[in-house]
Amino acid sequence: MELNLGGSLSRKQEQNNSVYKVVIIGSGPAGWSAALYAARAETNPLVLTGLELGGQAALTHTIENYPGFPDGVGGAQLGELFQKQAERFGAQVEFDRASAVDLSKRPFVIQTDGGKQIQAQTLIIATGASPNHLQVPGEVELTGRGVSYCATCDGWFFKDKRVVVVGGGDSALEEGLFLTRYATSVTVIHRRNQLRAGAILQSRAFANEKMHFIWDTVVTEIVGKDAVEAVRLKNLKSGEESLFPTEGVFIFIGHTPNTQIFQGQLEIDENGYIVVDKRMRTSVPGVFAAGEAADSLYRQVVTSAGMGAAAAMQAIKFLEEHEA
């Protein structure tokens, strides 16, 4: 298979595989919601799960703002429920990742990491987003040795240790509060003098005796030989630099949409988000996008699920209008 730069692929060796009416790339709330709606329309959609089953939501310990769960629900548990419901109505699941696409004509062609070539009459992109990195010395070298982007995944390893959380939004506080289950202290380092997180999360964080805050400060280096030993800090107002001892660094400074393989084939804005209209339609007819791959504003589980449902409804309408 010849792959072109930018994620597109050649059709020279295109196989005569069966053509799916709907293919969904991604298995977060947007992907599963799209799968549910497409399956209930009896299109037997195919879901390419990607590397993270359930998307970013599955890495969240407790989701408290998704309707229908007054006591909250685990992110992984919610993803499992989404999947079970979609499969109940006929959604097919492929545990593989899309590595290249050709959107130049229908049926669209998707190449996977597993070497499969899949054809689709309509495509719903729900590839989500990946955590941003600090891009400072020591970060790459110490990832997995004290540097983490998922408290739910790695919190247990920091029992009775001191950790820092970098960021000031909902994710930073949610994961920071989770870390207080294990760590002796959790210090939030934020580049501003006030948090961006919701009021309830802020109240909980300020009330937690294990939570501490360093304001107007950035991490300029993560220090350690075989494991994290400290972070080098710089106060943005005074310019003062200091070394802060810690055994763990959890980074929550936003996400970048996973849209690289669609570059040059779809309209994408300067921040990497796929441009869609109010009906989730992209610049290519028959291709739709939902969730954090297209949402730069809300980025919530509930809004992603709603976008996925809308994308599937529009895909079904597209199929009806373009039936031979």
Q: Domain boundaries in the chain?
A: 5-131+255-321, 147-251
Q: Of 71, 96, 113, 150, which residue is the catalytic one? A: 150
Q: Could you tell me which CATH number the domain at 147-251 has?
A: 3.50.50.60
Residue with the two structure tokens 């049926």:
107
CA distance 25 to 31: 7
Q: What number is the average pLDDT over the span 130-148?
A: 94
**CB neighbours of 129 closer than 8 A, spacing ≥ 6?**
56, 255, 256, 257, 258, 292, 293, 299
Alpha-helical (H) ranges within the chain are 29-40, 75-88, 151-154, 170-179, 199-207, 301-321
Which residues on adjacent β-strands are paired with residue 222?
231
Angle at 305 between CA 151 and CA 296, to 5 degrees: 70
- Let me know if domain 5-131+255-321 sits in CATH 3.50.50.60: yes
Q: Of 96, 102, 154, 170, which residue is the catalytic one? A: 154
Determine whether 226 is an active site residue: no
Determine whether 102 is an active site residue: no
Does residue 75 register a pLDDT over 90? no
CA distance 84 to 320: 27
pTM: 0.81
pLDDT score of 152: 79
pLDDT score of 172: 95
CA distance 206 to 227: 29
Does residue 7 register a pLDDT over 60? no
- What the block records as the tokens of 61 is 């310990």
pLDDT score of 17: 55
CA distance 110 to 221: 40
Does residue 295 register a pLDDT over 60? yes
Determine whether 153 is an active site residue: yes
Q: Of 113, 153, 269, 277, which residue is the catalytic one? A: 153
Does residue 89 register a pLDDT over 50? yes
Whether the Cβ atoms of residue 233 and residue 217 lie closer than 8 Å to each other: yes
CA distance 179 to 290: 31
